[in-house]
Chain A
Amino acid sequence: MGSINHVSGLEKIVGIIRKTKSTLGILFQNGKSATGFIILVSISIFAIAGLFFAPYNPDAYMFRRSLPPNSVNILGTTGYGQDVFSQLFAGAAPTLFIGFSVGILGTLISVFVGVLSGFASKRVNDLINSIVNIFLVVPGVLLIMLFGTYFLGLKENLGYVPTILILIITGWAFGARTFRSVTLSVSKRDYILSSVLIGESKVSIIFRQIIKAIMPVIVSNFFFTAMYGVMGLTFVEYLGVGNLSQVNWGTMLYWAINDEAYLTGQWWWILPPSLMISALMFSFILLNFGLDEIANPSLRIYNKKNRKAKNVTDTQN
């Protein structure tokens, strides 16, 4: 018995690889999540490469202004004389970083709030519910504007911290509502009830069972919140309340619009960041929807395999 419990380092690694393989397997069960995953991985590789291999300094005004795409500047230059491709390349990592930070932190908050309210007394539940409702009802752009102007009023360079904070503040509530209803439905299941009757503590039930049961929803919500993070970043930057000295896809759009690139026909400046943002959000949406379909069987009964199986039973009858 003792020897079985002694798992060698190698076996552990093999186990981890197997586990990730099976997680990826789940992602690839569904065409949508598979496509989303492939796009996201490609953009991530692009972003990591961009940290090291940007052809020119993305900040430097080293070229003639507003050049259309040519052999030196693959995507042309900005109205201020920077290389568009270098900006796109180097701006990918911060954009992804913000999306992921907002996704992870926002999801953590909403899981905490949602699970808590699913388990709390009625009064606490009502209180949490109304707070969540306030954040759901208030238009996000307004909060972004208000918080953003106040952060600007601080006149301190805090990097991306204010942007991420603003996006988390405006983006956590939707997930919290989802987790609340999911927790309520899961906590009514028999096996949770029996754990309660056995005398297992609430904390242990939440961490050992509830979180496990709602894991697919958590992952799907992560992608949703990350998508909000990327979209929100473009709004924060567009409204000029973000950190405009940094290069990311949001600030690229801000400067392009500020320089009226759309009026002067400099599409090589405004379209690449838009399309990259679009692709990134597209991958998040695909992952979110694909995982929903995996987690929610009633959405996927009618795929081809099942239909075939159904026909077989039909003919047998």
Chain B
Amino acid sequence: MKIPVRYIINKIFLFIVVLFGAITLNFVLPRLIPGNPAETIYQDVVKASGGAVNPVYLKQLEAEYGLSHAPLYVQYLTYLSDLFHGNLGVSITYYPVPVSTILAQALPWTLFLVITSISISFFIGNRMGRYGGINRNTWKDLTVDIFSMFMASFPAFVMAFIILDIFAVNGKLFPLGGAYSSSINAGFTIPFIISVIYHAFLPVLTIVLTSLGGWTLGMRNNIIPNLNSDFINYSENLGMKSYQIKSIAYRNAILPNLTGFSMSIGLSMSGVIIEESIFSYPGVGMYMITAIDNLDYPLMQGIFLMVIIAVLVGNFIVDLLYGFLDPRIRQESG
């Protein structure tokens, strides 16, 4: 098998550029706002305590945020070198726990949710879209379409609350939160794995339901031009069996849908962040909401950065896979 070298180099280049852009965005955003987060919090504290605050506190806060009055390029370089050393600052909410420690606990759970739910919804969605496309312009197609569109349009977090209410609060079939039962020791044992699946069921179900529509509709619209194309007509006339034709059209249609896969990592990440806070799942989403409520800028920025890196790496892997799967790209660099 030929390795598409130029394609891979392009993708690596893009990866670095986007990563750099995101890191810079993360640096610029807090500095765009008049005043700074430290001042905002300081003012609040002053107001709350009636002015009895030592001004040194402001300096302390600024130091914690990594805010200084040095020229911008110096700040930027310090920021980059801190990042490079894995120093993301200290969380305010969970003072004095470093942001990196929180992330190390939370990120694996989020990744677990994202990967599981994307895989499931990719599989089911494509199958449903295939079903709709094959039965195009019949009531079956219409049912699939309307169902997908409705699922895509219903507010995701309301769906999460409804599911939580039905299955966990009233039904008591599933737990209200957490990633695994506290009575079980963490480790790769069968009861632990069962407990993890049991706790992840509702969040995954919600994300799958709300992200299914995109895949289904995408698949349907990819497979129909394929089924209408001349080579399928030709194969049909040659007497090829219907299931073979369907599988050929399906395979052709799944490739463009895979490009959507890299886009959907970001989208699913958005969904997961929201769902985690609703299902009290100890991933980055839950911490993100806490961070926002407490104006915990270091934690917010740390999460922002980690999530972007995760999404970028995911994209990168999908792009590489795509390079190997798509013969056009494989041959291009020959």
Q: List residues of A whose CB falls within 8 A of some B CB.
A: 32, 130-131, 133-134, 136-142, 145-147, 149-150, 153-154, 227, 231, 234-235, 238-241, 253, 257, 262-263, 270, 274, 277-282, 284-286, 289, 292, 296, 298-299, 301-304
Contact = CB atoms under 8 A, between A and B. Distances in A.
- Name the residue among B25, B153, B270, B271 with the largest chain A CB count within 10 angstroms: B153
- 8 smallest CB-CB distances across A and B, nearest first, come from A281-B153, A141-B270, A298-B225, A139-B269, A262-B161, A134-B21, A139-B270, A274-B158
Contact of A133 (B14, B225, B274): B14
A136 B18 CA distance: 10
B137 interface: yes
Interface stretch (B29-37, B77-85, B182-190, B320-328): B29-37
B300 interface: yes
- Name the residue among A139, A146, A304 with the largest chain B CB count within 10 angstroms: A139
B26 to A, nearest CB: 8
A130 B217 contact: no
A138 B266 contact: yes
A289 to B, nearest CB: 7
Contacts of B267: 139-140
Interface in B188-241: 217, 221, 224-225, 227-229
Contact of B155 (A138, A141, A231, A303): A231
Interface in B285-313: 288-289, 292-293, 295, 300, 303-304, 307-308, 311-312
Nearest to B26: A146
B300 A145 contact: yes
Contacts of B150: 278, 282
Nearest to B151: A278
B270 A142 contact: yes
Interface in B1-24: 14, 17-18, 21-22
A139 B29 contact: no
B273 A141 contact: yes
Nearest to A275: B154
9 contacts: A142-B273, A149-B292, A154-B33, A262-B162, A262-B164, A262-B165, A263-B169, A282-B149, A296-B225
Given A149-B292, A282-B149, A134 B158 contact: no
B225 A137 contact: no
Contact of B22 (A138, A239, A304): A138
B263 interface: yes
A134 B22 contact: yes
A134 B149 contact: no
Interface string B141-177: 0000100011011110110011011000100000000
Contacts of B300: 145-146, 149
A138 B311 contact: yes
A284 B153 CA distance: 9
B158 A270 contact: yes
B136 interface: yes
Given A133-B14, A134-B25, A262-B162, A274 B154 contact: yes
Interface residues of B, number: 58
A227 B217 CA distance: 16
B182 to A, nearest CB: 23
Contacts of A154: 33-34
A227 B30 CA distance: 29
Contacts of A302: 136-137, 224, 227-228
B155 A253 contact: yes
A289 B32 contact: no
- A contacts with B: majority SS: helix
Nearest to A277: B155
A253 B158 contact: yes
Contacts of B274: 141, 235, 238
A136 B315 CA distance: 11
B40 interface: yes
B33 A139 contact: no
A286 B152 CA distance: 11
A34 B145 CA distance: 15
Given A262-B164, A278-B150, A299-B221, A234 B155 contact: yes
Nearest to B303: A142
A142 B304 contact: yes
A153 B221 contact: no
Contacts of A270: 158, 161
B273 A133 contact: no
Given A133-B14, A142-B307, A299-B225, A263 B165 contact: yes
A234 B152 CA distance: 14
B155 A136 contact: no
B18 A133 contact: yes
A253 B303 CA distance: 26
Contacts of A231: 153, 155
Nearest to A146: B29
Given A150-B30, A262-B164, A262-B165, A137 B18 contact: yes
Contact of B149 (A139, A141, A285, A303): A285
Contacts of A145: 288, 292, 300
A23 B297 CA distance: 50
A113 B136 CA distance: 35
Contacts of B136: 302
A43 to B, nearest CB: 13
B155 A140 contact: no
A79 to B, nearest CB: 15
Contacts of B271: 141
A141 B267 CA distance: 8
A139 B266 contact: yes
A290 to B, nearest CB: 11
A131 B153 CA distance: 28
A137 B266 contact: yes
